[in-house]
A and B are shown apart, each in its own frame.
Chain A
Amino acid sequence: MKLKSNTLRTFTSVHTWVGLVAGFALFVAFYAGAITVFHHDLQAWQTPHAPMSTEQGLNDAQRLLDETLARHPKAREHVGMVFPGGEYPQAASYWQDASGTWRYATLDNLDGSDKMPGGALSELVNALHYSLGIPVAGQYLMGIVSLLYGLALISGVVIHLPKLADDLFALRPGRNLKRFWQDAHNVIGVLSLPMHVMFAVTGALLCLVMVVMMALNPLIYRGGLMAALGPAMDTAPVATAAGREQPMGSLAMLHSRSIEVARAQGLVSFEPAYFKLAHAGDANATIEISGESPGSLGPIGAVAMNANTGALLATQLPGSRDANHATLASAYALHFGEYGNTWVRVLYFVLGIGGAFLFYSGNLLWVESRRKRRQLEQGAAQLGMARATVGVCIGVCVAISVAFIATQLAQWPALRIAGDIELTIKTACFVTWALCALWAALRPPVRAAQELLWAAAVTTAFVPIAHGLVTGAWLWMAAMKGEWSLFAIDAGALAMAFGFGWLARATARRARDGEANSVWADPRARAAQATSKLVTGQE
């Protein structure tokens, strides 16, 4: 396919500028997002005691529900709750108080709090993923970044299209390092393109859905969108309270009824994960139990029942649901990798790290293609870009590993660290990130890159050590006990540490042996190399 050179030029500059603007945020989103794939395993990892022993059952869930409804009148209108077991070791209930703020309660904290239970670390990594850790505005910022990301993908495909087949399998290692990076950037971009398109669209959806709906409502839905939303998103029909009291059925009965209903619709398995309960204690109380049926693209389905009698009201289950529920369940599952087995999540992790590499390599290519070949001194823009890339991208890798370590150490009785654990690890993370950025701003980029990569390698290698030291769940102990999710996080950290070390060595090699006039060249290392060659009589 042949494109006009004008088109090619325009799309190349669109790709470059959109990439530069959105690239940093996307690096953070992909690196943190790859870790967030293992959100639930991380919740077990950060719990100080053996996670298996604290697992609760349906009786605990019933007790929590009764207490929540008794203590918090607002929860009687609408309350949600996760079933304990499987993904969530603890039952947790949530509702909106009179001012519209979400409140969360567990059996340990029946009065409820504003903080989501489950763990400060997994929440921090998740917040970095969807909002860079910036409250409120961060989510909209990431929504805009997702839109730019979509634009970068389309323009990237357009400029790559004419040579697509030739370039795809041409990974050319050798003397021309820039061409090698360009090849790697292209191959990873094209091979993971379907996944990137999906992330761009669903990412924008998850961040901007409220804004987009408010804008589209008068434009194309004639103001009827908000009223239509309930029936389109919920399974239970919208009911008003009857005003007559009636005792609620037991959770155990409703739980097993939902499985029964799913079986009757031909689903081999249905694992209830969470429920929504409306008008508790009223004759018209409804409950909507959502659960997973593995083996479907959108595995989450729901069964709605009368909460007092268990009489079936409606279902939205895989294989027999309307277009709205099928689209929503698939979009959600595709973004979070919640279909298929553990290997799908491992694939998401690898693709996530690969995506982070895509944005990192994009920035390096920008620096390299503006290299001044005939002089040692490089322009201010190239220097600034190199510093920012090193400080932000490698800095966030160091910062996240430090947050992992801080989570364990803050819970170590031996250290007697008092205070709010959430604040402790947030501070550890953002202070580390700021220090890394400062370091990159003050040092020559190539030195900062090596030093920060080594810092990332060391801190990441320390993650399984901190875990073993504090909880006693050393890598081999976890493997022997068959606690594979704990083992996988520690082993994954070790693998990442080796990766960072390898990158640090590769960067040192570039500084020493690569082309001389570049921000990535180190004259001192080159001089030392030349002297040693003279002494040993090589060349």
Chain B
Amino acid sequence: MWGRATAAAIPGFLLSAGVTGLVCWLLPGPWQSTLVAGIVSFLAVWMAAMALAFQFRSGKRAWAWFSGGAVVSLATLWLLQTLQWVR
């Protein structure tokens, strides 16, 4: 249980940030216009991710999947921002 709970809290947080960030930046219009909605929905996304963490068979798997997802989503966002494909 502890493995999955910590996965919910730490990589779950980063994954939720990555997913929310991607949605907010990929929506049409400047990123500033989704600021408040982004922060509100981040909390909802994180709660869902926390619940999802308990679906994994073990804490290790939860950590692995969530960490991988966080790296992929945050790196994609960073790349898109750097290339100025989103603004």
Give Cα A472–Cα B55 distance, bound, in whole angstroms: 61
A220 touches B33 (CB 8 A): no
Select which of B17, B25, B50 is within 8 A of A216 by beta carbon: B17
Contacts of A146-172 to chain B: CB distance below 8 A: 147, 150-151, 154-155, 158
Contacts of A127-150 to chain B: CB distance below 8 A: 147, 150
Give Cα A158–Cα B32 distance, bound, in whole angstroms: 35
B20 touches A220 (CB 8 A): yes
Give Cα A431–Cα B51 distance, bound, in whole angstroms: 38
B43 contact set on A, CB distance < 8 A: 147, 150, 201, 204-205, 208, 212
Give Cα A208–Cα B46 distance, bound, in whole angstroms: 13
**In the complex, what's the smallest C-beta–C-beta distance from B54 to chain A, in angstroms?**
5
CB of A331 closer than 8 Å to a CB of B? yes
Give Cα A150–Cα B42 distance, bound, in whole angstroms: 13
Given A221-B31, A323-B37, the answer on whether A14 and B54 have CB atoms closer than 8 Å is yes
| Interface flags, A209-223, vs B, CB<8A=1, else 0 | 100110110011110
Interface residues contributed by chain A, number (CB under 8 Å): 40
Given A13-B1, A219-B17, A327-B37, the answer on whether A201 and B47 have CB atoms closer than 8 Å is yes
B44 touches A201 (CB 8 A): yes
B48 contact set on A, CB distance < 8 A: 154
CB of B79 closer than 8 Å to a CB of A? no
Select which of B24, B44, B47 is within 8 A of A220 by beta carbon: B24
A17 contact set on B, CB distance < 8 A: 1
A7 touches B55 (CB 8 A): yes
A212 touches B39 (CB 8 A): yes
B7 contact set on A, CB distance < 8 A: none
A219 contact set on B, CB distance < 8 A: 14, 17-18, 21, 74
| Chain B minimum-CB-distance residue to A10 | B54
Give Cα A200–Cα B43 distance, bound, in whole angstroms: 9
CB of A515 closer than 8 Å to a CB of B? no
Give Cα A7–Cα B14 distance, bound, in whole angstroms: 24
A228 touches B50 (CB 8 A): no
Residues of B contacting A: mostly:
helix
CB of B72 closer than 8 Å to a CB of A? no
B51 touches A158 (CB 8 A): yes
CB of A251 closer than 8 Å to a CB of B? no
A327 touches B36 (CB 8 A): yes
Contacts of B17-64 to chain A: CB distance below 8 A: 17-18, 20-21, 24-25, 31-40, 42-44, 46-48, 50-51, 54-55
Q: Which of B24, B40, B44 has the most CB of A within 10 A?
A: B40
A10 contact set on B, CB distance < 8 A: 54-55
Give Cα A206–Cα B22 distance, bound, in whole angstroms: 24
**In the complex, what's the smallest C-beta–C-beta distance from B3 to chain A, in angstroms?**
12
CB of A111 closer than 8 Å to a CB of B? no
B17 contact set on A, CB distance < 8 A: 215-216, 219-220
**In the complex, what's the smallest C-beta–C-beta distance from A321 to chain B, in angstroms?**
11
A221 contact set on B, CB distance < 8 A: 21, 31
Select which of A155, A202, A225, A232 is within 8 A of B51 by beta carbon: A155
**In the complex, what's the smallest C-beta–C-beta distance from A229 to chain B, in angstroms?**
7
CB of A359 closer than 8 Å to a CB of B? no
B51 contact set on A, CB distance < 8 A: 11, 14, 151, 154-155, 158
Select which of B13, B18, B39, B55 is within 8 A of A205 by beta carbon: B39
CB of A97 closer than 8 Å to a CB of B? no
A205 contact set on B, CB distance < 8 A: 39-40, 43
| Chain B minimum-CB-distance residue to A203 | B43
A213 touches B40 (CB 8 A): no
B77 touches A331 (CB 8 A): no
A150 touches B39 (CB 8 A): no
B40 touches A327 (CB 8 A): yes
Give Cα A215–Cα B22 distance, bound, in whole angstroms: 16
B81 contact set on A, CB distance < 8 A: 222
**In the complex, what's the smallest C-beta–C-beta distance from B24 to chain A, in angstroms?**
7
| Chain A minimum-CB-distance residue to B34 | A323
A216 touches B42 (CB 8 A): yes
CB of A328 closer than 8 Å to a CB of B? yes
B-side residues, CB < 8 A to A, are 1, 8, 13-14, 17-18, 20-21, 24-25, 31-40, 42-44, 46-48, 50-51, 54-55, 74, 77, 81
12 contacts between A and B (CB under 8 A): A7-B55, A10-B55, A150-B44, A208-B43, A212-B39, A216-B39, A219-B18, A220-B20, A221-B21, A225-B35, A323-B33, A324-B32
Given contacts A147-B43, A158-B51, A220-B24, 11 further A-B contacts (CB under 8 A): A11-B54, A17-B1, A150-B43, A151-B8, A201-B47, A209-B39, A220-B38, A232-B36, A324-B34, A324-B36, A324-B37
Q: Closest 9 CB pairs between A and B?
A: A220-B21, A150-B47, A154-B51, A324-B36, A327-B36, A232-B35, A228-B32, A327-B37, A219-B17
